[in-house]
Every structure is written in structure tokens, then in C-alpha cells.
């Protein structure tokens, strides 16, 4: 037998920028962040923007056009920003991916050009996925416009769409070229979307940083009341911890562990069972409550810790129990139901079932088995304590 062994390493580097008024004529953060240093070459830029942003700010597209007209000696905006519907629906319908690919083809966007997605996490996921498969990878730039995407999904390395009624079934691990977090985009968010992203910060605090959890507890009222300083710190710290985790050893999830998916096995299924009426952050908050309650019943955390967790989630305004958690008698042994989320969670990654629970506030603990009866008891306890 003969074999040739191949081994090589690829280094990925990208920056997450924090700014305000990104497209003000005097703000060079975006231009400098693309590092447009190749003399004599004007690279192309194709922008896709969440329709809800255009509705909230009718002058936004004109502002973007003006910005790139001023800087046309450095980069070529090939057309006015293309408006795309945002929200989870953009990941459920393959026609949106087709729309992105057609635009990439029609405007001659190549691997030295850039696609830019401006919007929430779902839009960023979908545009990033289309960019990753076009020409085997076009540089994509993210401009997250929700709390959740600025502190979590938008700063990561994953791109995806939903398929076969499963969350993120099709996707890639392709880091963005750069991420630009512009706080001013958050100012037009509804309170519901504003607080939804706080769930991801609570998640990472619970499994990694007790002092960050205590910060969120102390600033819960400020965060709900849209205090700028409190939210800016929350986003920065959460993004910082997310990026540190990516760099810590398994950025492309080749193993069986996904610590940052604490609370997510149930969350993803609840989203689907609700027809995506439950926002991702809302589902994550309920998933955190469920797994924290399960951790209590397994005697992994104290009742005092459990009460602190639930009290914080309630203080932010989250619902802790949804009917979608319930397994009806007629579907107890068939799909879909909340328990199928565990099966799909393992199936998505492969290997051994690995679920993150809590051994203390600020300390996650992985387990490889989940007791369905105990989950049902946790659901009962949540319903009583919502």
C-alpha cells in the first residue's frame, strides 16, 4: 500500500470594528478596514441590505451611495444597495440564495471583490453562505444591525441556511473579511429585538464568566431601558468572548463539543415548532431557562443559582415557558417535537451527543446523556415559575 500524506495550515485573521455613523462622509473606518492598498486596482463592492432597515431609514441607501461616490477612487460600488427581506424567512427559502448568486454573476463580482450584508443575523447567514459558494469563496463583509448579530452570530465564522426543516442544515465555515458594528443601527430596533440579543450575552456569561453575569444582573434595568453605555459594553464583552472561544481550539467544530450552543438544542426546535414566530434570542432565553432547570434537577447547581438565572431572564422581559416545549400525546413518539431537537443537535455535528449544562454560574459542564423524563419535569417546573 502507498500513501501520500498532505498537511498544511491556513491562518485566518479578521477584525471586528466598533463605531457609530459608519457611512458618514468623514468616517473612514469602512474604507480603512478593507485595507485597499493595491495601487491602480479599484475593487468591486456589492451590498445587500435588510428591507426593514430601509423602511426604518428611508435615507439610508442614498447615504450609502453618497459615501461610496466620495470614495470611488478607492472602491467601486457596482449598484445601489439591493434590498432583501430579513428575518428567518430569508434562510428558509432557497430563492433568496439564488437571488444573491444571480447578482454576484450579473455584476461580475470575483474573489478579489466584496459582498456586504447589512442586517440581522439571518440575512448575514444567508448572504455569507451564498458568497462562500460563489466562485468557491468571495470575500464577504458583515455589518450587523441587531444586538444579537453584533454580539454573537455576526462576529463568528459560520454561514448557513435552513433545509429539510432543520436549522442551519446547509452551511459553511468561512470567516468574514471584516465585521463593522455600528451602534447607531440599534437605535431603530423594537424593544423586542433590542432585548432578544441580550440572551446570547447571558448565555456566554453563564458558561464562561461569572463577573459578566453579575454585570448583566446589575444593569438589567439599564439594558431594558436602552442605556447606550450599558449596551455598548455588553456587546463588546460578548463579542470579545465569542471571538476568544473561536480561537481557542476548534473554530470549525470538528469535534463533538459546541459550548456556545448552551440552551440551543431546545431553542432551535422551538423556533421551528412556532413557525419562527419565536425570535432566536427569545428561544435561546427559554432554552437557557430549560437547561438551567435541568441542571438544578440534576443537582449540578444550587436552587439559589437557579433563582438568580430565572430572575435575570424575567427582569430582561423574557418568556421562560412556551407551549412548543410540550410533547402532545399524539406526537410523543413522532417528529417533530421538542425532544427531536436533541437528536437533530447530535446529528448536525455528528459524533457523541454533547450538551452544555451548568455546574455553577460562570462554569459550563458538558454531558453526553439527557434524561427525557427529567427534561419533562424541568418543563413542568418552568411552567410553574414563568
- The whole-angstrom separation of Cα 131 and Cα 104 is 8
Cis bond leading into 263, ω under 30°? no
**Residue entry with cell 472602491:** 75
pLDDT for position 58: 92
**DSSP output for 18-51:** EESSTTSTT--HHHHHTT---TT--EEEEEEEEH
Q: What is the pLDDT of residue 137?
A: 96
**CATH superfamily placement of domain 194-385:** Dehydroquinate synthase-like - alpha domain (1.20.1090.10)
Question: Quick one: pLDDT at residue 97?
Answer: 97
Per-residue pLDDT at 70: 95
Say if residues 158 and 197 touch (Cβ distance below 8 Å): no
- The rounded mean pLDDT for the chain is 92
Q: How confident is the model over 36-91, as pLDDT tens digits?
A: 876 668 899 999 999 999 999 999 999 999 999 999 999 999 999 999 999 999 99
Give the orientation angle of helix 303-316 with respect to helix 198-208, to 10 degrees. Answer: 160
344 — pLDDT class (breaks 50, 70, 90): confident
pLDDT tens for residues 112-143?
Answer: 999 999 999 999 999 999 999 999 999 999 99
Q: Does domain 15-188 have CATH number 3.20.20.140?
A: no
Residue ranges covered by each domain of the chain:
15-188, 194-385
Domains 15-188 and 194-385 share a fold: no
State what percent of residues in the chain have pLDDT above 90.
80
Q: Is 80 exceeded by the pLDDT of residue 336?
A: no
pLDDT of amino acid 348: 66
Give the model confidence (pLDDT) of 287-329 as tens digits: 999 999 999 999 999 999 999 999 999 999 999 999 999 866 5
| Strand-pair partners of 139 | 114
Q: Is 113 exposed, middle or buried (0-12, 13-18, 19+ CB in 10 A)?
A: buried
Q: Which helix (H) or strand (E) holds 363?
A: strand 363-367
Strands 114-119 and 139-144: parallel
Query: What average pLDDT does the segment 330-351 reach?
Result: 68
Query: DSSP code of 369?
Result: -
Amino acid at each position: 500500500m502507498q500513501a501520500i500524506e498532505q498537511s498544511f495550515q491556513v491562518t485566518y485573521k479578521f477584525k471586528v470594528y466598533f463605531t457609530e455613523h459608519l457611512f458618514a462622509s468623514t468616517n473612514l473606518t469602512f474604507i480603512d478596514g478593507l485595507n485597499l492598498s493595491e495601487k491602480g486596482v479599484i475593487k468591486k463592492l456589492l451590498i445587500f441590505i435588510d428591507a426593514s432597515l430601509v423602511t426604518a431609514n428611508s435615507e439610508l441607501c442614498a447615504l450609502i451611495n453618497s459615501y461610496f461616490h466620495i470614495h470611488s477612487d478607492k472602491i467601486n460600488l457596482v449598484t445601489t444597495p439591493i434590498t432583501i427581506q430579513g428575518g428567518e424567512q430569508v434562510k428558509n427559502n432557497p430563492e433568496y440564495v439564488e437571488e444573491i448568486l444571480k447578482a454576484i454573476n450579473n455584476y461580475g463580482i470575483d474573489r478579489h471583490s466584496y459582498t456586504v450584508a447589512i442586517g440581522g443575523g439571518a440575512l448575514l447567514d444567508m448572504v455569507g453562505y451564498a458568497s462562500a459558494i460563489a466562485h468557491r469563496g468571495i470575500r464577504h463583509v458583515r455589518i450587523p444591525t441587531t444586538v444579537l448579530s453584533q454580539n454573537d452570530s455576526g462576529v463568528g465564522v459560520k454561514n448557513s441556511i435552513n433545509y429539510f426543516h432543520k436549522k442551519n442544515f446547509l452551511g459553511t465555515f468561512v470567516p468574514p473579511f471584516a465585521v463593522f458594528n455600528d451602534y447607531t443601527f440599534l437605535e431603530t430596533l423594537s424593544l423586542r429585538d433590542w432585548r432578544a440579543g441580550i440572551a446570547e450575552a447571558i448565555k456566554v456569561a453563564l458558561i464562561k464568566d461569572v463577573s459578566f453575569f453579575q454585570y448583566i444582573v446589575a444593569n438589567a434595568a439599564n439594558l431594558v431601558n436602552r442605556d447606550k453605555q450599558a449596551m455598548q459594553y455588553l456587546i463588546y464583552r460578548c463579542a470579545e468572548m465569542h471571538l476568544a472561544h473561536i480561537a481557542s481550539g476548534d473554530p470549525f467544530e470538528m469535534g463533538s463539543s459546541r459550548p456556545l450552543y448552551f440552551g440551543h438544542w431546545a431553542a432551535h426546535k422551538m423556533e421551528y415548532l412556532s413557525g419562527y414566530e419565536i425570535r432566536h434570542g427569545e428561544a435561546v432565553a427559554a432554552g437557557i431557562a430549560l437547561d438551567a432547570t435541568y441542571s438544578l434537577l440534576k443537582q449540578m447547581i444550587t436552587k439559589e443559582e437557579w433563582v438568580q438565572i430565572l430572575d435575570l431572564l424575567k427582569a430582561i422581559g423574557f418568556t421562560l415557558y412556551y407551549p412548543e416545549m410540550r410533547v402532545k400525546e399524539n406526537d410523543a413518539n413522532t417528529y417533530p417535537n421538542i425532544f427531536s431537537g436533541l437528536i437533530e443537535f447530535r446529528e448536525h455535528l455528528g459524533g457523541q451527543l454533547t450538551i452544555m449544562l451548568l455546574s455553577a454560574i460562570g462554569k459550563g459542564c458538558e454531558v453526553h446523556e439527557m434524561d427525557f423524563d427529567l427534561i419533562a419535569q424541568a418543563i413542568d417546573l418552568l411552567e410553574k415559575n414563568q
